[in-house]
Amino acid sequence: MRSAVTGKSKSLDSRLFAYALAGGAALVSATPANAAVIHYGGPTLDTAGSSFNLDLDGDLVNDFTFQSGAGDSATTFDAVVSFPGGGVTDPLAFATPVNATTTFNATSPYKLTKGAVDQAGVVTSSGGPYAIAPNQYMGLTFDIGGVAHYGWARLEVYGTGTPEVNGLLAQGQLDVRLMEYAYETNNRAGIAVGQTSSVPEPSSLALFALGAAGIAAMRRRKAAK
């Protein structure tokens, strides 16, 4: 008789565990099956006194063009990014969600920063959201087949200059380095700034954990009887 009860108990535990696994799998798969994060980690792209194009999804259509700016000590100059569609954000904190609710600047070209150079050839950023600084994060949205997708980029804005010599005005230049970027291939899914791979939604993992905890609690109650 005892063995029959034990066998029944094991059978029930097995079924419950299978249900929890199935439920967890269903919850995890609620994230679109074809969702994937594409991450580019180098080599660095640099405007270097000119510009560079960024084709995020490799469809031979340039999604963004970053352009350097240059001038002398009597002027100011801008580094900008242009795009045929979509948009960019002002600087974002690491782990900030980028999705359909994000506020994007859709006017192209978008001014990253305004620069000025003093007589000693020192370039400073005097306006615009992106200062002369490393590790600044930008949210991106762009079209694939006419549908919005979301991504992020890590940028460095830097300045170089030459001092005034023999009455010639000092010259300055603003450039942009793109250190890395990522985007989500599924249009229904957003991405977090700094995210480099696809992960199950935290809510799915939490519910699965609750299912496992429920099985453990049931076993403890049986053991107490």
Residues 10 and 70 in one domain: no
Residues 42 and 144 in one domain: yes
Instruction: Look up residue 48 and give its two tokens.
Output: 């270097």
Tally of CA atoms within 13 A in the half-sphere of 180 that contains its CB: 11
Residues 75 and 173 in one domain: yes
Residues 99 and 209 in one domain: no
Residues 61 and 131 in one domain: yes
CA-nearest of 178, 161, 190, 146 to 41 is 178
Question: CA-to-CA distance for 30 and 205, rounded, in angstroms?
Answer: 12
Show pLDDT as tens, one digit a residue, over the chain (225 residues).
Answer: 444 433 433 333 333 333 333 333 332 323 344 679 999 998 999 999 999 999 999 999 999 999 999 999 999 999 999 999 999 999 999 999 999 999 999 999 999 999 999 999 999 998 999 999 999 999 999 999 999 999 999 999 999 999 999 989 999 999 999 999 999 999 989 999 999 998 654 543 443 344 444 444 545 555 555
Residues 71 and 145 in one domain: yes
Residues 19 and 126 in one domain: no
User: Quick check: pTM over 0.85?
Assistant: no
Residues 64 and 16 in one domain: no
Overall number of domains in the chain: 2
- For 66, the domain range is 36-196
Question: CA-to-CA distance for 217 and 212, rounded, in angstroms?
Answer: 9
Residues 108 and 16 in one domain: no
Residues 2 and 55 in one domain: no
Residues 16 and 45 in one domain: no
Residues 2 and 49 in one domain: no
Q: What's the count of helices (H) and strands (E) in the chain, helices before strands?
A: 2, 14
DSSP 169: P
